[in-house]
Chains A and B, each alone.
Chain A
Amino acid sequence: MAEYTQAETGGTLQRPEGIRGIAADLSSDQRAFKNVSWGKAMMWIFLLSDTFVFGCFLLAYMTARMSTPVNWPNPSEVFALEIGGQELPLILIAIMTFILISSSGTMAMAVNFGYRRERGRTAALMLLTAVLGATFVGMQAFEWTKLISEGVRPWGNPWGAAQFGSSFFMITGFHGTHVTFGVIFLLIIARKVWRGDFDTERRGFFTSRKGNYEIVEIMGLYWHFVDLVWVFIFAFFYLW
């Protein structure tokens, strides 16, 4: 049936390369992106829309920061942590960054083992990814608690421009929500992989369709995107 033609047409249909390939993909009455399955294409399009959402958040933050005459709090000091009697600038954010990057690494390997149909390894790596993601959210909760106890609110903070508070809670809050949903998504797919749903072609409880290992890659796209967004937040919010 139609849903099984994915990922196979590319091998049989020889398509031109480069700009001619794009023209061939988008012209005539045919499906664009050829051997890219609808699931993967739709995840990419969702991620594109999410890119605009996060783009607008960072833009709003830039506009707020550039248009205020009041001093912007120094993120390096705000997010410093005292470890062993020594004040380390931005250390919590750095650790969170490393944890998220590591979770992306384990996810990429899970995708690889998924296509090799190594159920155990795939599920284990996805679980590890979920644990790292949950750790990230936990550290973010700690960061929020610390800042709230120091008097940071969406309408103000003790160190300067009030817009700092609203930008902080909006941007990190929206990103944390994405990570949380990602962890849930990871656990659902890891369970399906572990149970062997994609080997026995068990039908999904919601869609009644047979899944395949490509869902691990699609899940991975979402997870890497969360890491990708953090790269920009790290640069623009914490380092600027």
Chain B
Amino acid sequence: MAQAQAHSGQQHPVKLYLLAWGLLFVLSTFSYLVDYFGIQGYARWVLILLFMVLKAGLIVAVFMHMAWERLALVYAILLPPVLVLVFVAMMVSESNYTIFTRLTFSSVGL
């Protein structure tokens, strides 16, 4: 059985990993430059989130081999974290309420 397993598992050309590695370097540099040039406002948000998602996608898809896994596993792993966004929406609403009460009723900001 050990013999049969010799060539199993996730095997992909090394060139592909080097390409992903290079792209991650480029994207990280872009992220850093957003801060270096002091881009502010919505442009900053859009750029930071875009580079973040691209980097995360490359790591999960190529380095963690998600692109070649069974669809059942991909969905089992990738869908649950998406639901965290519901939690994010709830906490945004909650923190808006907290800062509102702090500014309205508290003279000392905390």
Give the chain A neighbours of B71 by CB distance below 8 A. Answer: 17-19, 21-22
B92-110, CB under 8 A of A: which get 1 and which 0? 1011101100110000011
Asked if B10 and A69 sit within 8 Å, CB to CB, the answer is no
| A239 vs B2: C-alpha distance when bound (angstroms) | 48
- Whole-angstrom distance between the alpha carbons of A232 and B48 in the complex? 10
User: What residues of chain B lie closer than 8 Å to A76, measured between beta carbons?
Assistant: 35, 38
Given A63-B91, A112-B12, are A90 and B32 also a contact pair (CB < 8 Å)? yes
Contact, CB under 8 Å: B84 / A55: yes
Q: Is the CB of A33 within 8 A of B72?
A: yes
Q: B70 near A108 (CB under 8 angstroms)?
A: no
Question: Closest B-chain residue to A4, C-beta based?
Answer: B1
A63 to B88, CA, bound (A): 9
Interface centre among A8, A63, A109 (most CB of B within 10 A): A63
Query: Contact mask B63-99 → A, CB, 8 Å, 1/0?
Result: 1110001111101110011001001100110111011
With contacts A33-B73, A101-B24, A239-B34 taken as known, whether A69 is within 8 angstroms of B103 at the C-beta atoms is yes
A141 contacts which chain B residues (CB < 8 A)?
A: none
CB under 8 Å from chain A, chain B span 1-51: 1-2, 4-12, 14, 17-18, 20-21, 24-25, 28, 31-32, 34-36, 38, 44, 48-49, 51
Which residues of B does A touch, CB under 8 Å? 1-2, 4-12, 14, 17-18, 20-21, 24-25, 28, 31-32, 34-36, 38, 44, 48-49, 51-52, 55-56, 59-60, 62-65, 69-73, 75-77, 80-81, 84, 87-88, 91-92, 94-96, 98-99, 102-103, 109-110
Query: Other than the known A22-B75, A52-B84, A105-B21, what 18 A-B pairs have Cβ atoms closer than 8 Å?
Result: A7-B9, A22-B72, A32-B76, A33-B70, A36-B70, A52-B81, A59-B87, A66-B92, A67-B94, A67-B102, A69-B103, A90-B36, A97-B32, A105-B17, A108-B21, A231-B56, A234-B28, A235-B51
| Nearest 6 Cβ contacts at the A-B interface | A105-B21, A66-B95, A67-B98, A67-B95, A25-B72, A235-B52
